[in-house]
A and B are shown apart, each in its own frame.
Chain A
Amino acid sequence: AQSVTQLDSQVPVFEEAPVELRCNYSSSVSVYLFWYVQYPNQGLQLLLKYLSGSTLVESINGFEAEFNKSQTSFHLRKPSVHISDTAEYFCAVSDLSTDKLIFGTGTRLQVFP
């Protein structure tokens, strides 16, 4: 069965530093990939998604993620973080063979001034 691993439960970083949040999934069978962001006491919002085409996808607020089929990864990166990026980030994988959407356990990004 498909599984999603977010190895880092917390990532502390200073403002304006680069950051990478890691996401690996278990099967390279046809998948769609998503990153969601959750601000405190709120629901999740879609940050970016990979369905097909270019393996590098970008969000409107400077995040990007690259689909790497050989390494079954979809890491999220930002070259310079802001205090307002402090939130929990969830990677999710849609396994098209089972039509199931599986969420990772989340990574809490804490940006310090």
Chain B
Amino acid sequence: DGGITQSPKYLFRKEGQNVTLSCEQNLNHDAMYWYRQDPGQGLRLIYYSQIVNDFQKGDIAEGYSVSREKKESFPLTVTSAQKNPTAFYLCASSTQDRGSGELFFGEGSRLTVL
């Protein structure tokens, strides 16, 4: 079955530690995205990538980093510089840039910083 796999589903970390969230897709999509979801705020774009070895900042990139070394993979690192990292993180992909195409989402990773 084609789809997007995010891991881990739940993650607990101490303050000050970097955390990397995994996102893998086997849909052969060019574009991949990371969103952050907080209650009552909808989805906010962190980073996106339209092609391998290239990515752009979204609306709330500060404190996060990404890489896109392979078409299938787009890991997100939540660094210690992110002031409020506890949130639900969603990875998505699309065949085209997000403006005109449907997004396919993973099941999300819930990060709790203690």
A95 within 8 A of B: yes
Task: Give the Cβ gap from A3 to chain B, nearest Cβ, in Å.
Answer: 11
Main secondary structure of the interface of A (DSSP, over half): strand
* Also in contact, A44 and B105, with CB within 8 A (given A9-B40, A90-B43, A106-B42): yes
Main secondary structure of the interface of B (DSSP, over half): loop
Interface string of B93-107 (1 = CB under 8 A from A): 000011110110111
Residues of B within 8 A of A98 (CB): 99
Give chain A's interface residue range (CB within 8 Å of chain B).
20 to 34
Tell me the bound Cα distance from A90 to B37 in angstroms.
12
B68 within 8 A of A: no
Task: Give the Cβ gap from A50 to chain B, nearest Cβ, in Å.
Answer: 12
Task: Give the Cβ gap from B68 to chain A, nearest Cβ, in Å.
Answer: 19
Give the interface of B toward A (CB within 8 A). Answer: 4, 6, 40-43, 90, 92, 97-100, 102-103, 105-108, 110
Known: A34-B102, A94-B98, A101-B99. 11 other contacts (CB 8 A): A36-B103, A42-B108, A43-B106, A43-B108, A44-B105, A49-B102, A95-B99, A99-B99, A100-B99, A101-B98, A103-B42
